[in-house]
């Protein structure tokens, strides 16, 4: 089998990649494939017919069914799509099947290349209790905590009370198989312990099929800092520095930046070394992220490892100059990393914000509507990763994230100013978004000073966020163009015998911060 020049020496040549995902991450992988001269295949469900990711790929395969279990979570259907198109590799993106070891094994069993870590690493790091044990053995600092016995359910209540007493209040109850905040409960007083344990275990069982919960100390006023690692199949492991991901809502990240505004060179060196040791402990291959919580005193503790590409990977690419998707493809092809740790340096500062179709003024509830106008900002140091275009629909079938807006500048103050302008220049009409909220974060004194702890949003908007209406001049200018586009859409629908699916006046009003 032959391939592009960059694949000379590859033990597992890749010429066609199927992406088992959708939206912006599928588009991101397709771009990398095109740059490397690799053919690409998309899979799509009925909800994604005509979507951007479907049209970007060289080929597209329809996944029959209406439920996720029938489409993007259907291992058999995805393998069959790869085989029917002559694909020789599968990239899982993030979410969906990306951290399912059974999927990785199925890909390999079909004699396809798996663009991801070994299944044993997915399993070990996917179980938080097993991951804690592995990290302790590798001398990676972990948050103080205790497991609960699984062999004596009758003694569970007594063991729970004893473990909580040893760990100390306030504490966290966390699902072993958890993620995204599911199966997690904060307990501040002993009287709430049993009730919250039952709720966490019940939620974990529903979400992950595993109700195992362990006890961990709650590190308040902490920072969420993660380290990007890359490892090949030749024993080389490097880190690409850290990302600060502390600004979160319901345990979901909202703003990410690299590097962290508070790490000292000593912290950075120690945290990077710990991340590399974590990857080595499970014989990792490919791109992965080791997440830490850093306390007020500067001590950091292992939180978890994400065995996939992260949503926020662009900020690392910006400051390191390394294309992480390209490196994933190279590693999967059996090639060694082309650089060592000493070759990597931090270049400037990068910030990413996640743009959601949601209403921040209404408890961040998901919003829907047509993207009548979708005009991204332009200029030096501005990047947009998205899976939607003007004319598409913001729907609630999947994650409400419309795009990731990334800026890169020589330093943090410059990056903040660039992001503020980019958010203000981004025009989205027809669906409500969080752009106004993101702009307010960029303007906030606490963010400007780098005081970005995990409770940032709760502290500064305890009663919720309130929007500021646009000026009459801005509203009038936008309304004029909006109404022109709306009339065209209505005319087309009238010709086709359809009614207008939206009220242009309402969608315009809701679209502004």
| Torsion sign over Cα 122, 123, 124, 128 | positive
In contact, 394 and 367? CB cutoff 8 Å: yes
Q: Residue 39 pairs with which residues in a beta bridge?
A: 16
How much is the mean pLDDT over the chain? 90
Each domain of the chain, given as residue ranges in start order, spans 5-115, 144-217, 223-460, 472-511
Peptide bond into 259 cis (omega under 30): yes
The residues carrying an active-site annotation are: 308
List all residues 6 or more positions away from 270 whose beta carbon is below 8 Å from its beta carbon. Answer: 300
List all residues 6 or more positions away from 480 whose beta carbon is below 8 Å from its beta carbon. Answer: none
Do strands 16-19 and 89-91 pair parallel, antiparallel, or not at all (unpaired)?
parallel
- φ, ψ at 189 (rounded to 5°): -135, 145
Among 230, 238, 212, 225, which Cα is nearest to 130's? 212
Considering the entire predicted model, what is its pTM? 0.88
Supply the pLDDT for residue 156.
84
Q: Which residues of 206-242 are buried (b: 16+ CB within 10 A; e: fewer)?
A: ebbeebbbbbbbbbeebbbbbbbbbbbbeeebbbbbb
Task: Give residue for tokens 């702890």.
Answer: 453
Q: Residue 286 pairs with which residues in a beta bridge?
A: 231
| Torsion sign over Cα 267, 269, 272, 274 | negative
- Give the DSSP letter string of 58-122: SEEEE---SSGGGTTT-HHHHHHHHHHTT--EEE--SSTTTT-HHHHHHHHHTT-EE-S--HHHH
Whether CATH 3.40.50.20 fits 5-115: yes
Distance between CA atoms of 64 and 82, rounded to whole angstroms? 15
Supply the pLDDT for residue 500.
39
List all residues 6 or more positions away from 269 whose beta carbon is below 8 Å from its beta carbon. Answer: none
Neighbours of 2 (CB within 10 A): 7
Chain segment 484-502, per-residue pLDDT in tens? 655 554 454 445 444 434 3
Chain segment 351-364, per-residue pLDDT in tens? 999 999 999 999 99
Among 426, 140, 439, which Cα is nearest to 282's? 140
Which DSSP letter does residue 361 get? G
Domain 223-460 class, CATH top level = alpha beta
Do strands 171-175 and 145-146 pair parallel, antiparallel, or not at all (unpaired)?
unpaired
Neighbours of 488 (CB within 10 A): 11
Residues of the chain with pLDDT > 90: what percent? Answer: 79
Supply the pLDDT for residue 296.
87
Q: Which tokens sit at 34?
A: 């095109």
Q: Which residues of 313-327 are buried (b: 16+ CB within 10 A; e: fewer)?
A: bbbbbbbbebbbbeb
CB-based burial label for 176 (10 Å; 0-12, 13-18, 19+): buried
Question: Could you give the dihedral angle defined by the CA atoms of residues 185, 186, 189 and 195, in that order, rounded to the nearest 10 degrees?
Answer: -10
Distance of CA 292 to the CA centre of its chain: 16
Chain segment 237-291, per-residue pLDDT in tens? 999 999 999 999 988 899 999 999 999 999 999 999 999 999 999 999 999 999 9
Question: Which superfamily does CATH assign the domain made up of 144-217 to?
Answer: ATP-grasp fold, A domain (3.30.1490.20)
Instruction: List, run by run, the mean pLDDT of 10-residue segments along the chain (513 residues).
Output: 74 96 98 97 97 98 96 98 98 96 98 98 93 95 86 76 93 84 90 93 89 90 96 98 94 94 96 98 98 93 96 98 98 97 98 96 93 96 97 90 98 98 96 96 97 94 84 54 55 46 41 44
Do strands 145-146 and 89-91 pair parallel, antiparallel, or not at all (unpaired)?
unpaired
Supply the pLDDT for residue 397.
86
Residues of the chain with pLDDT > 70: what percent? Answer: 89
Supply the pLDDT for residue 32.
97
In contact, 130 and 102? CB cutoff 8 Å: no
Classify the phi-psi angles of 448: left when phi > 0, otherwise alpha if psi is within -120 to 50, otherwise beta.
alpha
Among 427, 358, 422, 346, which Cα is nearest to 390's? 427
Distance between CA atoms of 203 and 344, rounded to whole angstroms? 42
Do strands 184-187 and 171-175 pair parallel, antiparallel, or not at all (unpaired)?
antiparallel
Q: Which tokens sit at 195?
A: 């009730």
Among 187, 212, 248, 209, which Cα is nearest to 128's? 212
Helix 504-511 and helix 472-495, axial crossing angle in degrees, nearest 10: 140
- φ, ψ at 152 (rounded to 5°): -125, 75
């Amino acid at each position: 089998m032959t391939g592009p020049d960059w694949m000379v020496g590859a033990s597992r040549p890749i010429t066609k990649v199927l992406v088992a995902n959708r939206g912006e991450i599928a588009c991101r992988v397709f771009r990398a494939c095109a740059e490397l001269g690799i053919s690409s295949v998309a899979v799509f469900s009925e909800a994604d017919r005509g979507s951007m990711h479907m049209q970007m790929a060289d080929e597209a395969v329809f996944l029959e069914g209406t439920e996720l279990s029938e489409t993007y979570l259907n291992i058999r259907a995805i393998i069959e799509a790869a085989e029917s198109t002559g694909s020789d590799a599968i990239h899982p993106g993030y979410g969906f099947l990306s951290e399912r070891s059974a999927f990785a094994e199925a890909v390999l069993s079909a004699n396809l290349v798996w663009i991801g870590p070994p299944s044993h690493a997915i399993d070990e790091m996917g179980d938080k209790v097993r991951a804690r044990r592995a990290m302790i053995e590798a001398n990676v600092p972990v948050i103080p905590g205790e497991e609960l016995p699984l062999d004596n359910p009758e003694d569970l209540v007594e063991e729970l009370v004893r473990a909580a007493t040893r760990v100390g209040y306030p504490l966290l109850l966390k699902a072993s198989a958890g993620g995204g905040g599911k199966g997690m409960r904060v307990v501040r007083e002993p009287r709430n312990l049993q009730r919250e344990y039952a709720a966490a275990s019940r939620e974990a069982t529903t979400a992950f099929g595993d109700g195992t919960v362990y006890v961990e100390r709650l590190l308040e006023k902490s920072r969420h800092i993660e380290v990007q690692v890359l490892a090949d199949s030749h024993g080389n492991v490097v880190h690409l520095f850290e990302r600060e991901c502390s600004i979160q809502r319901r345990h979901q990240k909202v703003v990410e930046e690299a590097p962290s505004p508070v790490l000292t060179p000593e912290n950075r060196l120690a945290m990077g070394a710990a991340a590399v040791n974590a990857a080595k402990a499970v014989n990792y291959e490919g791109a992965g992220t080791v997440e830490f919580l850093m306390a007020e005193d500067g001590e950091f503790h292992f939180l978890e490892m994400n065995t996939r590409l992260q949503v926020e990977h662009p900020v690392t690419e910006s400051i390191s100059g390394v294309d992480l998707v390209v490196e994933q493809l190279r590693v999967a092809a059996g090639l060694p990393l082309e650089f060592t740790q000493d070759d990597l340096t931090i270049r400037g500062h990068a910030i990413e914000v996640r743009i959601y179709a949601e209403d921040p003024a209404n408890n961040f509830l998901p919003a829907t509507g047509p993207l009548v106008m979708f005009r991204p900002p332009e200029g030096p140091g501005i990047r947009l990763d998205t899976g939607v275009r003007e004319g598409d629909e913001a729907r609630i079938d999947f994650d409400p994230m419309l795009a990731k807006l990334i800026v890169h500048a020589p330093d943090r103050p410059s990056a903040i100013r660039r992001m503020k302008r980019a958010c203000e220049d981004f025009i989205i009409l027809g669906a409500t978004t969080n752009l106004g909220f993101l702009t307010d974060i960029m303007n906030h004194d606490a963010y400007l000073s780098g005081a970005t702890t995990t409770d940032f949003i709760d502290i500064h908007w305890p009663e919720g966020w309130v929007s500021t209406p646009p000026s009459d001049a801005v509203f009038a200018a936008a309304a004029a163009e909006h109404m022109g586009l709306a009339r065209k859409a209505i005319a087309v629908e009238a010709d086709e015998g359809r009614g207008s699916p939206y009220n242009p006046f309402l969608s315009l009003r809701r679209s502004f911060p």
